[in-house]
Structure 1
Amino acid sequence: MLKKLLLALCIGGLSSSAVAAESGATPVAGATVTPAAAQMVRQAVKNLSANVQVDSIEAAPIPGFYQVIAAGQMIYVSTDGKYLMHGDVIDLSRRQNVSDSAWSRFRKDELAKVPASQRIVFAPPHPKYTISVFTDVNCGFCRALHEHMAAFNKEGIAVEYLAWPREGLTTTAGRPTPTYTEMVSVWCASDRKAAFTAAKEGHAPPPATCANPVKDQFNLGLKLGVTGTPMIIGPDGSELGGYVTPEQLLQALQKGS
Structure 2
Amino acid sequence: MNKNLIRRAAVAALLALPLLATAQDKEAAAIRKNLGERIPALSQIDEIRKTPMAGLYEVRVGTDILYTDAEGNFIVQGNLLDTRSKKNLTEERVEKLTAIKFDELDTKNAFTMVRGNGKRKLAVFADPNCGYCKRFEKDLQKVNNVTVYLYLIPILGQDSVEKSKQIWCSMNKGKTWDDWMQRDVLPKGASSCNTDALTANLEFAKKYRITGTPTLVFADGTRVPGAINAQQIEQQLAR
Give the shorter-chain TM-score range. Answer: 0.5 to 0.7
Residue correspondence of structure 1 range 105-124 to structure 2 within 5 A:
105-109=96-100, 113-124=104-115
Residue correspondence of structure 1 range 5-154 to structure 2 within 5 A:
23-25=22-24, 41=32, 44=35, 48=39, 50=41, 57=47, 59=49, 61-63=51-53, 64-66=56-58, 68-70=60-62, 73-109=64-100, 113-124=104-115, 125-128=117-120, 130-152=121-143, 154=144
Residue correspondence of structure 1 range 195-206 to structure 2 within 5 A:
195-200=176-181, 201-202=183-184, 203-206=186-189
Q: Give the alignment partner of residue 198 of structure 2, picking from 198, 214, 219.
A: 214
Aligned length: 212
1:207 is aligned with what amino acid? A
Q: Give the alignment partner of residue 243 of structure 1, picking from 216, 219, 227.
A: 227
The answer (yes or no) to whether the contact 2:35–2:42 under 8 Å persists in 1 is no
Q: Secondary structure at the match of 2:210?
A: coil
1:163 is aligned with what amino acid? L
The answer (yes or no) to whether the contact 2:42–2:61 under 8 Å persists in 1 is no
Q: Secondary structure at the match of 2:193?
A: coil
How many percent identity over aligned positions?
16
Confirm whether residue 185 of structure 1 aligns to residue 177 of structure 2: no
* Alpha-carbon separation, structure 2, partners of 1:100 and 1:45: 25
The answer (yes or no) to whether the contact 1:164–1:214 under 8 Å persists in 2 is yes
* Alpha-carbon separation, structure 2, partners of 1:231 and 1:80: 39
* Alpha-carbon separation, structure 1, partners of 2:23 and 2:198: 45
1:230 is aligned with what amino acid? P
The answer (yes or no) to whether the contact 1:76–1:86 under 8 Å persists in 2 is yes
Correspondence for 1:3: none
The answer (yes or no) to whether the contact 1:232–1:241 under 8 Å persists in 2 is yes
The answer for unaligned runs of 5 or more in structure 1 is: 1-21, 26-33, 169-176
TM-score w.r.t. the length of structure 2 is 0.68
* Alpha-carbon separation, structure 2, partners of 1:80 and 1:110: 36
Correspondence for 2:10: none
Q: Secondary structure at the match of 1:66?
A: strand
Distance 1:44 1:122, change over 3 A: farther
| Higher share in helix | 2
Question: Which has the larger Rg?
Answer: 2
Q: What RMSD over aligned residues (CA atoms) do the two structures have, in Å?
A: 3.7
1:167 is aligned with what amino acid? L
Compute the displacement of 1:237 (Å). 4.9
The answer for unaligned runs of 5 or more in structure 2 is: 1-20
Q: Deviations over 1:163-218 (max 9, x none)?
A: 221234xxxxxxxx222122022122222212222232332231222222112211
